[in-house]
């Protein structure tokens, strides 16, 4: 069973969350929400400041706003291993005064050809918060993303999608896919920029070609991604309701096919996904009043997220197994599902994983005993041995699909 501290914290957590959800419902009913720009965070939630220099944990961060028409924002997490040559030794220690250039400094190039910037896989991470709260810059999410960036040796892009009820379905889902397309555009712009640099270095002064590249936004190239990102090894990672978004983005990527090139979604991780449905599962009956996120609170959240005319527990955003939901399951990427013993949503997540395995998709389930919903990402539980073990387990599995030397890791 969960510890006494977890049980006590859960009581206060649910009281505060219920008050928040009911307040948002009243505001929504009174017409006090629904701004087209949307919100990506709540004023009562703590936020960790970004720091473009490597801190004690060896991870640098920066925030960028990628959509002028909405509040969609991103936080990038870059591990210091990105500056190491392929033998793993970091040749240039700092973050270059808070800015990471798109090429390794000349002194490092002279010392070793292998010292050129390393290309790292990219993880798109979607935070939890029952669609109405949470943030990509919250202290808990910042800590979790730093842990993942270091464990997996990857660039993490935490997505600050629009929240309900200011922006109801499908806003958050569209934001997720918009970031995937943005990642592809960044890779293409970086290639154009590299091509222009090569042309200039060769003494070919093609001014018209330079103007064409600039007209497509070469000046908006994100330097960290241009220098160190490998979008052909992209993993989606969703936490709670963020897992619903990740699964939607994976489906859209399958449907888009080569239209999202050079981005390749090689795997996804669904951490205690926020799935539900009209026909109750065993866990939804037995654990309806469980810790932190019980059934009544989740129903309030779905009412805030789904448009009134579309409200249904079998909505494609809520139930992953409704007929006609996106591409055939056999086309889905490898999918790791994390579930907790004391989570009322666990059985539906397991059922989805079982359906994926039936069509030969690599879709293991990691179930953690005595664990609660968000046991590896909730602020008070982040530093527990179980949370660390979960992150380690995720790293072992994901490395099968992001290793440039093939499937050298097995789970």
Indicate whether 338 pLDDT > 70. yes
Task: Report the range out of 33-37, 86-90, 255-259, 405-409 with the highest average pLDDT.
Answer: 255-259
Question: Out of 129-138, 210-219, 309-318, 357-366, which region has the weakest mean confidence (pLDDT)?
Answer: 210-219
Residue 221, pLDDT score: 87
Would the pTM count as exceeding 0.85? yes
Residue 226, pLDDT score: 93
Residue 18, pLDDT score: 95
- As a whole number, mean pLDDT of residues 105-114 equals 39
Residue 319, pLDDT score: 96
Scanning the structure block, which residue is given the tokens 């994100």?
222
Is 240 a known active-site residue? Answer: yes
The 229-239 sheet, strands edge to edge:
59-65, 73-79, 155-160, 120-126, 229-239, 265-271, 335-342, 365-372
Count CB neighbours of 351 within 10 A.
Answer: 15
Indicate whether 409 pLDDT > 60. no
Question: Out of 42-56, 120-134, 192-206, 354-368, which region has the weakest mean confidence (pLDDT)?
Answer: 192-206
Give the model confidence (pLDDT) of 139-160 as tens digits: 999 999 999 999 999 999 999 9
Question: What does the H/E/C string look like for the chain?
Answer: CCCHHHHHHHHHHHHHHHHHHHHHHHHHHCCCCCCCCCCCCCCCCCECCCCCCCCCCCEEEEEEECCCCCCCEEEEEEEHHHHCCCCCCCCCCCCCCCCCCCCCCHHHHHHCHHHCCCCEEEEEEECCCCCCCCCCCEHHHHHHHHHHHHHHCCEEEEEECCCCCCCCCCHHHHHHHHHHHHHHHHHHHHHHHHHHHHHHHCCCCCHHHHHHHHHCCHHHCCHHHHHHEEEEEEEEEEECHHHHHHHHHHHHHHHHHHHHCCCCEEEEEEECCCCCCCCCCHHHHHCCCCCCCCHHHHHHHHHHHCCHHHCCCCCCCCCCCCCCCCCCHHHCCCEEEEEEEECCCHHHHHHHHHHHHHCCCCCCEEEEEEEECCCCCCHHHCCCHHHHHHHHHHHHHHHHHHCCCCCCCCC
pLDDT confidence bin for 404, thresholds 50/70/90? confident
Indicate whether 165 pLDDT > 60. yes
Is 343 a known active-site residue? Answer: yes
Tokens linked to 266: 């090689």
266, 235 Cβ separation under 8 angstroms: yes
Residue 407, pLDDT score: 44
Indicate whether 406 pLDDT > 60. no
Residue 217, pLDDT score: 45
Give the model confidence (pLDDT) of 268-282 as tens digits: 999 999 999 999 999
- As a whole number, mean pLDDT of residues 195-214 equals 52
Give the model confidence (pLDDT) of 300-313 as tens digits: 999 999 998 989 99
In whole angstroms, what separates CA 298 from the centre of its chain? Answer: 21
Q: What is the mean pLDDT of the chain?
A: 86
Indicate whether 215 pLDDT > 80. no
Catalytic one among 127, 228, 315, 373?
Answer: 373
Which residue, 362, 168, 342, is CA-closest to 272? 342
Indicate whether 379 pLDDT > 90. yes
Give the model confidence (pLDDT) of 1-34 as tens digits: 889 999 999 999 999 999 999 999 998 888 765 5
Catalytic one among 193, 343, 347, 353?
Answer: 343
- As a whole number, mean pLDDT of residues 27-51 equals 82
Residue 131, pLDDT score: 97
63, 50 Cβ separation under 8 angstroms: yes
Question: Out of 179-183, 190-194, 333-337, which region has the weakest mean confidence (pLDDT)?
Answer: 190-194
Is 71 a known active-site residue? Answer: no
pLDDT confidence bin for 196, thresholds 50/70/90? low
pLDDT confidence bin for 331, thresholds 50/70/90? very high
- 186 versus 208: which is more confidently predicted? 186
pLDDT confidence bin for 36, thresholds 50/70/90? low
pLDDT confidence bin for 197, thresholds 50/70/90? low
Catalytic one among 240, 294, 315, 342?
Answer: 240
Residue 41, pLDDT score: 86
- As a whole number, mean pLDDT of residues 241-268 equals 96
Tokens linked to 21: 């959800």
- 167 versus 220: which is more confidently predicted? 167
């Amino acid at each position: 069973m969960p510890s006494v501290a977890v049980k006590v914290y859960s009581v206060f957590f649910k009281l505060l969350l219920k008050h928040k959800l009911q307040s948002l419902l009243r505001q929504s009913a009174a017409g006090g929400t629904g701004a087209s720009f949307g919100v990506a965070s709540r004023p009562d939630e703590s936020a960790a400041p970004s720091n473009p220099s490597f801190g004690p944990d060896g991870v640098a961060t920066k925030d960028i706003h990628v959509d002028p028409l909405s509040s969609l924002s991103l936080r990038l997490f870059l591990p210091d291993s990105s500056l190491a040559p392929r033998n793993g030794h970091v040749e240039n220690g700092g973050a270059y005064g808070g800015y990471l250039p798109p090429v390794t400094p000349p002194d490092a190039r002279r010392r070793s050809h292998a010292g050129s910037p390393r290309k790292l896989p990219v993880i798109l991470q979607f935070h939890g918060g029952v669609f109405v709260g949470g943030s990509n810059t919250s202290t808990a999410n910042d800590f979790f993303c730093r842990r993942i960036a270091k464990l997996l040796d990857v660039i993490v892009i935490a997505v600050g999608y629009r929240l309900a009820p200011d922006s109801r379905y499908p806003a958050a889902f569209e934001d997720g896919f918009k970031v995937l397309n943005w990642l592809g555009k960044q890779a293409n712009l970086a290639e154009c920029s590299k091509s222009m640099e090569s042309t200039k270095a060769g003494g070919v002064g093609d001014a018209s070609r330079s103007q064409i590249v600039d007209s497509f936004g070469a000046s908006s190239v994100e330097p960290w991604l241009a220098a160190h990102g490998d979008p052909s090894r992209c993993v989606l990672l969703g936490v709670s309701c963020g897992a619903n978004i990740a699964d939607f983005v994976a489906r859209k990527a399958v449907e888009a096919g080569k239209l999202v090139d050079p981005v390749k979604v090689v795997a996804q991780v669904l951490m205690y996904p926020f799935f539900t449905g009209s026909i109750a599962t065993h866990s939804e009956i037995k654990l309806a009043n469980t810790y932190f996120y019980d059934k009544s609170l989740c129903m309030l959240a779905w009412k805030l997220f789904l448009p009134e005319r579309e409200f249904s527990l079998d909505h494609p955003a809520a139930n992953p197994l409704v007929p006609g939901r996106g591409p055939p399951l056999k086309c889905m990427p490898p999918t790791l599902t994390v579930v907790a013993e004391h989570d009322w949503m666990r059985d539906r997540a397991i059922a989805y994983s079982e359906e994926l395995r039936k069509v030969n998709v690599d879709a293991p389930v990691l179930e953690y005993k005595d664990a609660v919903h968000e046991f590896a990402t909730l602020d008070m539980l982040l530093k527990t041995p179980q949370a660390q073990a979960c992150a380690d387990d995720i790293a072992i599995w994901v490395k099968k699909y992001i290793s440039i030397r093939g499937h050298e890791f097995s789970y």
